[in-house]
Chain A
Amino acid sequence: MSIALADEIRIDSESDIVVARKLVRDTATSLGFGLTDVTRIVTAASELTRNIYIYAGSGIMRCRPVASDARRGVELVFEDKGPGIADISKAMTPGYTTSRGMGMGLPGSKRLMDEMDLKSAVGQGTTVVVRKWLHK
């Protein structure tokens, strides 16, 4: 299996969300994900990059193929140095929002992906890592 370098995208503006979606779509498609899974992964990426833009103002997204245990998949990392999340379990509750959003971005992304890790410290920033595996 080939090891590609992680692609990194800066999220500074709304239009970067589209760029991120495109990169994720291309990566997931080339890894062999089916259309519905590609749409799931891209939609999660759209939610999580928008969170960076709305809540932190700016940050980065990294997208890379991963392999472990004869499984292959894709990993997306969303990192910002924004205000952080005080109550993570609240933020993960469907419908909870501090911005008149639908409050579905975090809980929904978790459901669309196979794995999600959320680390956040108030005043320091937030890192969300999501992964999806092929032929799960």
Chain B
Amino acid sequence: MTAENISVISLRNLLLVTVPPDPDDETISALQQKILESMARHDARGLVLDISTVQTLDSFFARTVMETVQMVALMGGRTVLAGMRADVAVTATQLGLSIGATQTALDVDRAFDLLQGEIQGGRTA
């Protein structure tokens, strides 16, 4: 998995990024870079990070995600983590990871609903 394979889809003023199942550290860093560039290019107001295929959420990955959320916020966007698997959520909690105030949704659909409602309601970050 290299940075080129990461898909970033821009829909209206939102970005949809799908995280690969078992990314190495390099891919995770490349993902962050690509998200921030796309945020700027599309003047996006929100980011949906689809993590429904992610098998392992360790502390390095979690930290990078949290950093990305903060960077996206600084660029005026809100992030929703969508579709975390049940086993990954149990493990991440037991490992002691926390994602702070980052929003979550059961799937991409609900994440879009959430972001669109918020952006239309004028509640941006």
List chain A positions with a Cβ less than 8 A from chain B. Answer: 14-15, 17-18, 21-22, 25, 35-36, 38-40, 42-43, 46-47, 50, 94, 101-102, 104-105, 107-109, 111-112
* Contact among B24, B26, B59, B90 with A47 in the assembled complex (CB-CB below 8 Å): B59
Interface of A is mostly: helix
Check if B58 is an interface residue, CB within 8 A of chain A.
yes
Q: Judge whether A43 and B22 touch: CB under 8 Å.
A: no
Residues of B39-63 whose CB lies within 8 A of A: 55-60, 62-63
Q: Judge whether A40 and B91 touch: CB under 8 Å.
A: yes
Q: Which residues of B contact A111 (CB under 8 A)?
A: 94-96
* Contact among B22, B62, B86, B91 with A112 in the assembled complex (CB-CB below 8 Å): B91
Q: Which residues of A contact B57 (CB under 8 A)?
A: 43
Q: A14-B25, A101-B59, A102-B59 are in contact. Are A108 and B87 (CB under 8 A)?
A: no
